[in-house]
Amino acid sequence: MDEKKFSTLYVARLAVEEIFSLCKSTIDLSTPLSEELGVVPNAALTELTEVNNKLGAALNKSQKSELSGLIETNDKGRDGDLQEIFRTKNLYLRSRDAAKKKAAEELDYFLSPYKGVYKLPLDVESGVVSEMMAKYNASEALKAAATALGIDGIFTSLGTYNTGFDTLYKQRTVSAAARGASASSLRNKVVSAYMQFTTAIEQLATFVPTDALISLFFQLDEVRKQYHPLEGGEEKEDEKKS
């Protein structure tokens, strides 16, 4: 009897993304031969496919978050409001209308620390604008100056956009963390399913070999060899391997 054993691979030492890719390649190579595998190996292949698909969904960070479009809209909205506030204030600083010029000077003193705030990193900008709006809303003089220049509505809009951005940004951060946690929780299930399937293939190739099964065995072994250099960390006695 020619016993078939795959090259040793410590699957649990691979990064979770690499585990997904290893299993995806294994599934893609094995599925066309499903009719030749028999009941137990096919059940193992089905289980591996299901858990690996779940892992793939959890890892799919290339797919844009559904919140990203709304976040971008709110960011562009607040940046536009900020630029319009500064533009209008600067315009009235040169006004011949004494009342409007005085209102512009009032706002100029207040806004000077916030010049270029829209160029800051998104989450930093959110905090700075929140601070600015809190000071603005607490000052009747500033609100009166904005009204005099006809930009009180823009300040209100700015606050709305910034609050919307902050809420959505935090939601997306929590969602991303949840996806990461989900991937970690699936990792062991995928490793276990992979080991069960590869063990079944070893037994088939040993006890009921066919040309197609032997070919599949060597193809899967070549895939494993490609991932061997990617193993990380120190070897542990209880580490999963196959």
pLDDT at 48: 94
When the pLDDT of each residue in the chain is averaged and rounded to a whole number, the result is 88
- From CA 36, how far away is CA 29, in angstroms rounded? 13
In a shared domain, residues 162 and 99: yes
219 part of a folded domain? yes
Query: What is the domain range of residue 28?
Result: 11-63+179-230
Nearest alpha-carbon partner for 4 in 195, 205, 196, 194: 205
Mind listing the pLDDT tens digit for each residue in 220-241? 999 999 888 887 644 443 344 4
Higher-confidence position of 171 and 138:
138
Mind listing the pLDDT tens digit for each residue in 190-203? 999 999 999 999 99
- From CA 56, how far away is CA 10, in angstroms rounded? 20
74 part of a folded domain? yes
Q: What is the largest CA-CA distance in the chain?
A: 102
Number of domains within the chain: 2
In a shared domain, residues 108 and 137: yes
In a shared domain, residues 170 and 99: yes
In a shared domain, residues 73 and 152: yes
213 part of a folded domain? yes
1 part of a folded domain? no
In a shared domain, residues 94 and 183: no
pLDDT at 59: 76
pLDDT at 38: 87
- Alpha helical stretches, state H, 60-97: 68-92
Average of pLDDT values for 51-57? 88
